[in-house]
Amino acid sequence: MNNDYIEKVITELKARGASDISVSHDTIFVSVESDKLRSLVEYIHNELDCYFRTCGGCDERPINGFFALYHIFGDDKHGLNIVVKTYASSDDPKFPTIVDIVPAADWCEMEAHDLLGFEFTGRRQYRLVLPPNWPKGLYPLRKEVPYNIRPKPSTSGEQISKPTNIAAIPIGPYHPALHEPEYFELYIEGEKVVDVKYRGFHVHRGIEKLGETRMTYQQINFLAERICGICGFVHSTCYCQAVEKAARIDVPERALFIRSIVLEVERIHSHLLWVGVAAHLLGYDTGFMHTWRIREPVMVLAELLTGSRKTYGINLIGGVRRDIDESKKKKALEFLDIVEREFKTLADTLLSIPQIKKRLKETGILPKEDARKLSVVGPVARASGLDRDVRRDLPYAAYKYVDFNVPVYDEGDNMARLLVRVDEVFESIKILRQLLDQIPKGPIIAEDITIPEERMAVSLTEAPRGENVHFVITGRGKPYRWKVRAPSYQNIPALKIMLNGVQLADAPITIASIDPCFSCTDRILVIRDNGEKYWLKLTHPRGGSSCPRSL
Amino acid sequence: MSEKSLGKKLGLFKILIIAKKAGRVTRKYPFEKPLVTDEFRGKIEIDEKECIGCGACANACPPNALKLIKGENTFILQYFIGRCIYCWRCIDVCPTNAIKGTREFELATPDLNDLYESVVHDVIKCRECSKPIMTVKAKDYIISKVSVSENYIDLDPDCRKKHFLSSIEKRFSGGIE
């Protein structure tokens, strides 16, 4: 890491009012007065060219008598995180909004508004995460609210659709491809989509509250793994990394290798699953069946390495619970050969079908500038020419020991997103061969773990869908604050640009092309509007008609 | 004609070769053995003889599938399979290796009661306030590990505190109240 660069950044931050500066690992923590927050954020986002990762509120009244808001930025080029903390008084938690500077902050500000009762001055505020009939003035993430509270529902004024002159096609609340609860309303003129309304959060499960109250440090690994049904191991790895970073625990190298191996196995299974679903959506069910047939050995391999086909349950703070012996290693290499050979043939066939090519090429385009503005992550970013991958930019687990390419395409269409994922399957196989070959000997879990209180850490992992963020403040026996941001959260807003003007028949594949994970996202929340720039808008979930300026 | 050049000519019909090679992959489960590997984590089994009712498993269990229900005369270790996530953390933490993992996963049943398993333990009570303290087996286990604990193990922690304080008091006051 570039220490001179960190020094330079710190001097600049100080000049803009930042205080309490500390550097830990790859993260710079600063505090700032709320009246200087906006100018500091403007500098970090625009001049340092940092991506916005997320923001999270915290009820710190029991510790210091204040509410606090943490804005997390990421400098991928220099492998840095910048966490900006702002305080507000306990009786009137008001913060200036940064949404006009950083459009990506819309959702997390509204999440803090819902869950902690924060007021954001200078923007329109609305309910987002909580169900519409949750009573007003009850803020579940405040420390005095018990985790198992069941308030009497208040009446809901929500209207899903309003009559308009344009035909509205509902998709959901069950997605035609991904079988998860979310609701799209596509407004069409003729066969063309002209507007989209999105309503999510049907499965907000309050897991952050659960983690901060009912669970212990080691139990949360298993809860975190259940954030997502497809890429759960990424979440549990991200959570234990955050705690390990905060508590400065040295994880044995062998454990890091095992984590990386399982993460890559998970990526292959996730991408193969997606390719199958994409083929199914394009009406090519033969391709779907064969992709999933090829995926089967990957699932068996996961079970062999971890004990379960999914929700592997082998992560603990300090290491992993299952070792990989020589016989498993041999079996893994055999399976990888089969998957590589078979998927190569199938992918070639799939990509040679004229109908598939036609459906994917030049549909659902996300231009590079828009992708950057929306800070999209993962294969969606890489298909739109953004060269970002946490595994390379801020290496974690054992990724610094392996060579791999990060496939980047500039077209930004559905085809590019398919190609990125197909390429990544082969890259993952390449990574797995190196990891299995280099895996060092030694223990797989650290002994005698102590986790001091009131330490902070930000941890990132590259999920099959993109960058995952977990933010942890340690507490006694359990985290004081645990904040999660899943990749689909960053990517769903890009849909409104992708769907702009597509044929209705191409809408399902376009929606599916970001590989959205609604369970992950809904545990946080959704909805964003990028101002007047685009005529196609994701409308506000409760407002009914298209909202001209929700931020 | 070789397979490769044939594939080239066939274009999108290459899928026929792929399908021919793969053959039938559907298995006749449940009419044949389950397809799980040796590493598979399934339902757990608690050995009543070995279990001492200490509650370590209930503390570690992430979804509360294992509970130590503390009554007046008995402590019951209850395992509810409906909540179990088969993580086997209980096996990791059990001090007497009373819990074993199995590969069983076909657990569907029309009767909810089939999903409960319980181990009932007798308890010892405090010799002063007669509150239940721990199971008889846990007491024996602790004494076998730390023999000096025999002197105070039948006291409730609160009563133990009182005893300790009064003995200090006696020492300083010379026994005069």
Q: What is the DSSP string of A16-75?
A: TT-EEEEEETTEEEEEE-GGGHHHHHHIIIIIS-PEEEEEEEEEEHHHHSEEEEEEEEEE
User: For residue A205, what pLDDT is reported?
Assistant: 84
- The Cα A158–Cα A140 span in angstroms is 21
Decide if pLDDT at B12 tops 90.
no
* Per-residue pLDDT tens over the stretch A458-475: 999 999 999 999 999 999
What tokens appear for A147 in the block?
Answer: 């985790």
Least confident of A155-164, A422-431, A486-495, B166-175: A155-164
pLDDT band at A441 (very low <50, low <70, confident <90, very high): very high
What tokens appear for B63 in the block?
Answer: 């979804």
pLDDT band at A159 (very low <50, low <70, confident <90, very high): low
What is the number of helices (H) and of strands (E) in chain A? 19, 16
Query: How many CB pairs (< 8 A) connect A and B?
Result: 61
pTM of the model: 0.90
Average pLDDT estimate for A20-32? 92
* Per-residue pLDDT tens over the stretch A295-321: 999 999 999 999 999 999 999 999 999
Quick one: residue A137, left, alpha or beta (phi over 0 = left, psi -120 to 50 = alpha)?
Answer: left
| Residues in Cβ contact with B107 at an 8 Å cutoff, skipping those fewer than 6 apart | B43, B81, B115
- Long-range contacts of the stretch A449-452 (C-beta < 8 A, 24+): A449/A247, A449/A249, A449/A317, A449/A318, A450/A247, A451/A217, A451/A243, A451/A246, A451/A247, A451/A249, A451/A317, A452/A247
* Per-residue pLDDT tens over the stretch B87-136: 999 999 999 999 999 999 999 999 999 999 999 999 999 998 899 999 99
Least confident of A74-83, A125-134, A176-185: A176-185
- The full length of chain A comes to 551
- The Cα A43–Cα B149 span in angstroms is 64
Give B87's contacts in chain A (Cβ within 8 Å): 222, 313
CA distance B44 to chain A (A): 14
Asked whether A89 and A66 are in contact (CB, 8 A), the reply is yes
Probe site for chain A from B17, B18, B27, B38 (most A CB atoms < 10 A):
B18
Q: Do B37 and A223 touch (CB under 8 A)?
A: no
User: For residue B86, what pLDDT is reported?
Assistant: 95
CA distance B78 to chain A (A): 19
pLDDT band at A512 (very low <50, low <70, confident <90, very high): confident
Are β-strands A80-89 and A94-96 bridged in parallel, bridged antiparallel, or unpaired? unpaired
Q: How much is the mean pLDDT over chain B? A: 90
What tokens appear for A381 in the block?
Answer: 């970013």
- The Cα A373–Cα A38 span in angstroms is 18
CA distance B14 to chain A (A): 6
Nearest to B15 among A286, A322, A354 (CB): A286
pLDDT band at A522 (very low <50, low <70, confident <90, very high): low
* Per-residue pLDDT tens over the stretch A404-426: 999 999 999 999 999 999 999 99
- The Cα A485–Cα A81 span in angstroms is 15
Q: Do B63 and A222 touch (CB under 8 A)?
A: yes
Give A352's contacts in chain B (Cβ within 8 Å): 11-12, 14
Look up residue A504 and give its amino acid.
L
* Per-residue pLDDT tens over the stretch A212-252: 999 999 999 999 999 988 889 999 999 999 999 999 999 99
Give contacts of A 334-353 with B, CB under 8 A. 342, 345-346, 348-349, 352-353
* Per-residue pLDDT tens over the stretch A331-363: 999 999 999 999 999 999 999 999 999 999 999
Asked whether A225 and A236 are in contact (CB, 8 A), the reply is yes
Buried b / exposed e along B54-92 (16+ C-beta atoms within 10 A): bbbbbebbbbebbbbebeeeebebebbbeebbbbbbbbe
Look up residue A103 and give its amino acid.
P
Asked whether A186 and A504 are in contact (CB, 8 A), the reply is yes
- The full length of chain B comes to 177
Give A308's contacts in chain B (Cβ within 8 Å): 40-41, 86
Nearest to B11 among A218, A346, A352 (CB): A352
Question: Higher confidence at residue B9 or residue A91?
Answer: A91
Least confident of A119-133, A384-398, A510-524, B163-177: A510-524
- The Cα A206–Cα A91 span in angstroms is 24
Q: How much is the mean pLDDT over chain A? A: 88
Least confident of A47-56, A534-543, B24-33: A534-543
Probe site for chain B from A210, A308, A350 (most B CB atoms < 10 A):
A308
Q: Do B60 and A219 touch (CB under 8 A)?
A: yes
Look up residue A81 and give its amino acid.
N
